Amino acid sequence: MTKIKDLVEKERLTQPMLIKSCSKGTTNKGAPYLNLELQDDTGKIVGKLWDAKESDEDVAISGTVVEASFEVIEYGGGLQLRVNEIKPLDQSTVDLREFLLTGKYTTEEVKTEIKKYVNSITNKNMKAIVVEMFKKVGDKYFEYPAASRIHHSFYGGLAEHSLGLVKTAEAIANLYPNLNYDLLISSALIHDMGKTVELGGLVSSEYSEEGRLTGHISICHGWLMEVAEKLGVADSEESLLLRHMILSHHGKLEYGSPVLPLLLEAEVLSMIDNIDARINTISDLLETLEEGKWSQRVPSLDGRQFYKPKL
C-alpha cells in the first residue's frame, strides 16, 4: 500500500483508504459529486468522485475504510485524488492503526508531562478539581483528537493540544509573575475535556448529537460544577474562577464562548489556545508543501494562503 505522503502525480492506484469526511456537491451542469477527505497514518488528501451515484453515497461513510481506485493529480499547488470508484470493505479485517494520524509524542510521554503539571498545582481546591476531572474523562483525554478537522485532528490530539497550552502558559507565567499560575495551568489542562463527548469518536470527523446540541464548552462546564459539588467546593472562589475560564476560553461570543474573558488569566488562556491551534493548523499545511510554493486558501484562517519560504 502506498502511503499518502509518498503519492506522486499521475499514479493510478487501488488500495484501502479511510474516509475521514464526505460531503455532496453539484457541478455547474447539475452533475452530483462527492468531496472526500481521505486519510492514512501519514496524512490526509482531498479526493473528488465525479458523477457520484446513490450507491457511492452508501459506501462513502465517514469513519470507515474503503477500497478506493484513483488517479493522483496536481491541483492548486498540491496533490489531489480523482477517485474513480470506491468499494466497501469488511471493517473487522481492517487494522485502524494504519489509518490513524498520531502526534509527535507517544501516549506515555504525554501522560508523564501532564502528570507533572497536575502535580505542580499548589492550590488545594484547584488541584482537587483537576484530579477529579481527569478521573471523570479517563483515558479518552489521551486518545481523542482536539478537533474534527482544523487542528490537532489526530489520535491523542486533545492531550497534545492541552500540553502545548500548559507549556506556553508556564512560560508566560514566568514572564509575568502577576498571573495566577495555578488558575492558568488548571484551566489549560481541563478546558477542552468536553470534546471527548462533543466529537463522534476517534475516527469519524462528525460530531455527536450531544456535541452538536450543547458543545464542548457547556459539557465541560457542567462536569466542573458536578465535580466541585462532589468535592464540597462548589461555593469556593476557585470553582467560580475555573468555571469562568472554561466558559470564556474561545475569547469571543461569535466563536462560541457564552461569556467574554473578564480575568487576566482568562484573556491569556484564550490567546494561547488560539496560538497553539493556529500554529498547528499552519504547520500541517506547510508540511506537505514544496519550498517556494503557496498553499491553498484556508477558510478557517480568513481564506488566506500561506507561503513556504525557501530558507
Q: State pLDDT tens for residues 114-142.
A: 999 999 999 999 999 999 999 999 999 99
CA atoms within 13 A on the CB side of 184: 27
Question: With 60 as the cut, is the pLDDT of residue 149 above it?
Answer: no
pLDDT band at 41 (very low <50, low <70, confident <90, very high): confident
- 219 close to 120: Cβ distance less than 8 angstroms: no
Specify the amino acid at residue 127: K
pLDDT given at position 150: 55
> Mean pLDDT, the chain, as a whole number?
90
194 CB-contact burial (10 Å; exposed 0-12 / middle 13-18 / buried 19+): buried
Question: With 60 as the cut, is the pLDDT of residue 91 above it?
Answer: yes
**Residue 140 and residue 193: Cα distance in Å, rounded?**
9
From-to residues of CATH 2.40.50.140 in the chain: 4-98
Residues 6+ apart with CB under 8 A from 201: 63
- 236 close to 125: Cβ distance less than 8 angstroms: yes
pLDDT given at position 273: 92
SS3 231: helix
Specify the amino acid at residue 138: G
Question: With 80 as the cut, is the pLDDT of residue 77 above it?
Answer: no
Higher pLDDT, 251 or 78: 251
Residue-wise pLDDT tens digits, 157-187: 889 999 999 999 999 999 999 999 999 999 9
Residues of the chain with pLDDT > 90: what percent?
62
- 157 close to 131: Cβ distance less than 8 angstroms: no
- What is the dihedral sign for C-alpha 285, 286, 290, 294? positive
DSSP string, 266-298: HHHHHHHHHHHHHHHHHHHHHHTSPTT-BPPPB
**Residue 72 and residue 75: Cα distance in Å, rounded?**
10
Question: With 70 as the cut, is the pLDDT of residue 277 above it?
Answer: yes
- 220 close to 234: Cβ distance less than 8 angstroms: no
From-to residues of CATH 1.10.3210 in the chain: 107-284
Q: Which helix (H) or strand (E) holds 32?
A: strand 32-40
The alpha carbon torsion through 205, 31, 302, 78 (nearest 10 deg) reads 80
Highest average pLDDT, of 43-52, 83-92, 176-185, comes from 176-185
Could you tell me which CATH class the domain 107-284 is placed in?
mainly alpha
Grid cell digits, residue 42: 501519514
**Residue 278 and residue 112: Cα distance in Å, rounded?**
25
Q: Which helix (H) or strand (E) holds 247?
A: helix 237-248
| Residue that has been written with the C-alpha cell 475569547 in this structure | 251
Question: With 80 as the cut, is the pLDDT of residue 235 above it?
Answer: yes
CA atoms within 13 A on the CB side of 105: 20
Strand 43-50 relative to strand 78-88, pairing: parallel
Which phi and psi (to 5°) does residue 2 adopt?
A: -80, 125
Question: With 70 as the cut, is the pLDDT of residue 278 above it?
Answer: yes
The architecture CATH gives domain 4-98: Beta Barrel (2.40)
DSSP string, 48-109: EEES--HHHHHH--TT-EEEEEEEEEEETTEEEEEEEEEEE--GGG--GGGT--B-SS-HHH
pLDDT given at position 68: 95
Lowest mean pLDDT among 2-11, 202-211, 249-258: 202-211
Question: How many Cβ atoms from other residues are within 10 Å of residue 15's Cβ?
Answer: 12
**Residue 299 and residue 85: Cα distance in Å, rounded?**
28
